[in-house]
Structure 1
């Protein structure tokens, strides 16, 4: 049942001041400063785990005092138990993916439940803990995670070092590593999502199904008194957010008899013949949004203006770059985006992704993954490297390298790594690289054809008719717009005789963690409470042997300047 494992299973016990859900940090610790390392150059496996869990919570959940986490929804109560982790590999893959199972001491033996999930974004193995861990562990379910072939196990080319199973670093050849690129010439940093050579997105569903099988096997080990755990006697529910949401929907299309239900939030999902794939709208946004957001209608939108009310200079330079393409004014750029399907709500929220330079980072990483590029041969002249205080590339220090596994998001820049561009030049230095990335989608060359074929390989398949499916998506999502992903997927299912539960969240956007920022949380509601509520209702229905029926989408109300209340969530 576990012949896909390529490492021994590592078992650890977590109780007292080091539980499964918060690593002993509790709500105050999760919100606080980064969990410290006694020796920054050589943190222990336990220290790295604690900080990785903290970083995953802070990157996904709204833990601010007005957000309601832990009071209106969610849980950070201590959950003692055991963890089982290993490296697994898909047939034909060059690199492994991480799998990890958490089994709480109060596992519900009467109504056996396994939650399976995949990390959101390109995060590491704990990347879905604030959703799946918080939903499953307090309700007596075991939780199985996969990093789905992405993650923060960066390989440092200068020191020839990578990340071991326990999160600590080792030199290549001296231990099995999470990721070691096949070709790693020169210097800099290799990132698993970009440089694995496996194009992991096409296999995210298989990663999820392997994690589910690993979960059942580890339940056998943890609870031999109840073994064997099988799909016939254990309820297996897949849940995921963003890329994790796309991963569980991919798994739904591949599954034959393993999954009992699937819940997907804000899924990045490529739908055959409908919607738009991520790379298409990300490269479009990277070029046009900086100019479009200069339109006066965005003056009061969070992230769209400087503190003094002025427009970012880089965005003004982008309008000048677009003039050569006939889209020189903000109104022109805005009209072009609206014509391609961007809604007013998505455009307004997309100011955050634009200001934080997410479009460029995502596009460069995904282009490299789709083209299976080596670290020193990324398309359009991009590369990753550690940097100094002035932003110049340097060899990474031991302390910077050591923290990557805990702190990094899986897509640089961040955690001391820069995204560098050989072609950067002029008043709008990002333009040449972004124009090149866009041409890989719209162009006629061999690389463009290869990239489009790789994107097509990520399209989902139809799930079996009887599989309960819940899809939740914020109508104001500015990173994965509902019109390009969640809604086309639901329409496609309905066109093929499926009956998904569909919850469009009127005031929902993509990043719950942004809601703690001034001026942002007063406009939107978080998504995590709807995932938690959907999971609870699905679990209850399965345990009671009845059909999954969640009712209509909740009627939401943003909190304004006040604390979020139950009425604002609209859950009954």
Structure 2
């Protein structure tokens, strides 16, 4: 592998007895229970922070509810004793490090010599892949290597000049090696988040982050089992797996793995910027679009389009949840009409017109129905503002469109974060605001009926416009396209047919079409009645309608492992004919997984 391996200090810890690798001793019951309070919220210990970070990562990805079937129908959370190794790795051209972690179980299978490597989903911290890669890999006797891929929850507070040290505790700049220390010293710039403010455009290098994590994992296996060393890609089976942004990361890694390190790749609901190819017959490859493009479009149009009568049931279910902004959606049609984007003048006709525009761009109604949750909680704006800052390589205090991140008071105005809030960011935050007491705020907010409109228009114009900032953003997005993987590399994709955050038509469908156009292939399950966020399945209207993606991800890993370790044919078989569970508990028959 050509990417140099540069990392700083190493932190090794043992986790046995009441503190294991997979759940920090919580087990399934503890993960489901309320979080254990910190002994001192302002100075939480590394062990407390790790336990909370693992719990946060599980609950952000998996459906652990009583009807969801986790631990009974699929998956498990056994006690897995072993060791952890943390370090900050750095790419030669990067200004900021990315965190890497290796988990080595005591029951490592020395005969199989398997290493699972993963990248966190979304912008999550280092444990962001534990419910997928950890839950599967550690229980199969594999070591697991993780990367935060240049994002993560190591937030930096400009007011106090503090960030996150290797053990998860907070430290002042200059007193310890930090997960993220932005350039600049403006103490009034709010909170800096690595994905948004590193100035490295980390997404363009996700594949390199994954390969560095694999290299780190092999090195830590050497350290853990010196009598079995060296561990190399030639005698150790490396399976790369990722979900969402993590799925895009492992597909990027597949494209730069010219040396043949990876034995197999499993990408689940991958956010992959596939090159566009012309659609052929039933092939959906012609719909390839990037998250920034369709996300900024949906942020503008979806609130209006989702007022169409065909989404009445979806809105009714979401309206039962607190904190949503469905009541403001009618104002969006008026904004779109005033801007000349929609011709219709009344709400019903505006909804129909907005829906027609989304459909013309490749959106299907099932994906839009699940996108209603993203829309109701203003998540499109949160995602796109963060990505806009990353793509334009903006420093903290100079995000596009007047956005920044800050704690917020009861009056919704920015305020200083408290010591307890800062201490919990690493363990409780998802890497994108809002969350853990950090909010996306605008320097000059408006207070009209459609207060988000000016910022969203600005963000959309960074995709459609011609100014230097828009050109810089589009160039950064172009740099995230994957390269073709080597011929013969086993690749398996799994995607929910009703995914409303990363619609399959824009991502996995397009990636598979691109592979086949270029004499490559992949096995692909486009799972019916599946969407993006298993964690949402506990919400009203979700668990009854959708099946959990993790069940199919584990099944794909089972097949990939059997292929690369035992030589079994990688036959995808038919896509499982999954069916929703309705109001009852999930049963194996609902998943229809192949035996």
TM class by shorter chain equals: over 0.9
Q: Kindly provide the CA deviation profile for residues 407-462 of structure 1, in whole angstroms up to 9, marking residues without a partner as x.
A: 00000011111111134322211000000000000011111111100000000110
SS in 2 for 1:300: helix
**Unmatched segments (≥5 aa) in structure 2:** 278-287, 345-349
Structure-2 separation of matches of 1:340 and 1:287: 13
The counterpart of 1:236, out of the listed 235, 238, 243, is: 238
Structure-2 separation of matches of 1:268 and 1:3: 26
The counterpart of 2:573, out of the listed 551, 565, 570, is: 551
Q: Kindly provide the CA deviation profile for residues 124-159 of structure 1, in whole angstroms up to 9, marking residues without a partner as x.
A: 000010000001001000000000000000000000
The counterpart of 1:358, out of the listed 379, 382, 400, is: 379
Corresponding position: 1:293 with 2:306: yes
Corresponding position: 1:313 with 2:327: yes
SS in 2 for 1:182: coil
Structure-2 separation of matches of 1:516 and 1:226: 45
Q: Partner residue of 2:251?
A: 249
SS in 1 for 2:42: coil
Contact 1:299–1:305 under 8 Å retained in 2: no
Corresponding position: 1:408 with 2:422: no
Q: Partner residue of 2:73?
A: 72
SS in 2 for 1:225: helix
Corresponding position: 1:375 with 2:376: no
TM-score by length of 1: 0.98
Q: Partner residue of 1:398?
A: 419
Structure-1 separation of matches of 2:220 and 2:32: 31
Structure-2 separation of matches of 1:381 and 1:213: 40
Corresponding position: 1:468 with 2:502: no
* Stretch deviating more after TM superposition (317-326 or 339-348): 317-326
SS in 2 for 1:301: helix
Change (3 A) 1:124 1:308: closer
Corresponding position: 1:516 with 2:518: no
Q: Partner residue of 1:193?
A: 195
Contact 2:86–2:100 under 8 Å retained in 1: yes
Residues 421-460 of structure 1: matches in 2 within 5 Å? 421-425=442-446, 426-460=448-482
Q: Kindly provide the CA deviation profile for residues 499-527 of structure 1, in whole angstroms up to 9, marking residues without a partner as x.
A: 20010001110000000112211000010
The counterpart of 2:216, out of the listed 214, 235, 239, is: 214
Structure-2 separation of matches of 1:308 and 1:117: 33
The counterpart of 2:351, out of the listed 312, 330, 333, is: 330
Structure-2 separation of matches of 1:13 and 1:336: 55
Contact 2:124–2:152 under 8 Å retained in 1: yes
Shift of 1:382: 0.4
Structure-2 separation of matches of 1:214 and 1:484: 33
Contact 1:56–1:128 under 8 Å retained in 2: yes
* Stretch deviating more after TM superposition (108-117 or 184-193): 184-193
Change (3 A) 1:232 1:326: closer
Shift of 1:375: 1.4
Change (3 A) 1:567 1:305: closer
Corresponding position: 1:116 with 2:130: no
SS in 2 for 1:402: helix
The counterpart of 2:229, out of the listed 227, 230, 240, is: 227
Contact 2:318–2:540 under 8 Å retained in 1: no
Shift of 1:497: 1.1
Shift of 1:6: 3.1
Change (3 A) 1:308 1:459: closer
**Unmatched segments (≥5 aa) in structure 1:** none
Structure-1 separation of matches of 2:431 and 2:469: 24
Q: Partner residue of 1:498?
A: 520
Contact 1:305–1:311 under 8 Å retained in 2: no
Change (3 A) 1:433 1:399: same
Structure-2 separation of matches of 1:117 and 1:8: 21
Q: Partner residue of 1:46?
A: 47
Contact 2:408–2:438 under 8 Å retained in 1: yes
Structure-2 separation of matches of 1:371 and 1:358: 20
Q: Partner residue of 1:30?
A: 31
Contact 1:293–1:304 under 8 Å retained in 2: no
Structure-2 separation of matches of 1:272 and 1:17: 48
Structure-2 separation of matches of 1:472 and 1:72: 19
TM-score by length of 2: 0.94
Q: Partner residue of 1:561?
A: 583
Shift of 1:389: 2.7
SS in 2 for 1:126: helix
SS in 1 for 2:174: coil
Q: Partner residue of 1:277?
A: 290
Shift of 1:225: 1.3
Number of paired residues?
Answer: 572
Structure-1 separation of matches of 2:455 and 2:325: 23
* Stretch deviating more after TM superposition (432-441 or 490-499): 490-499
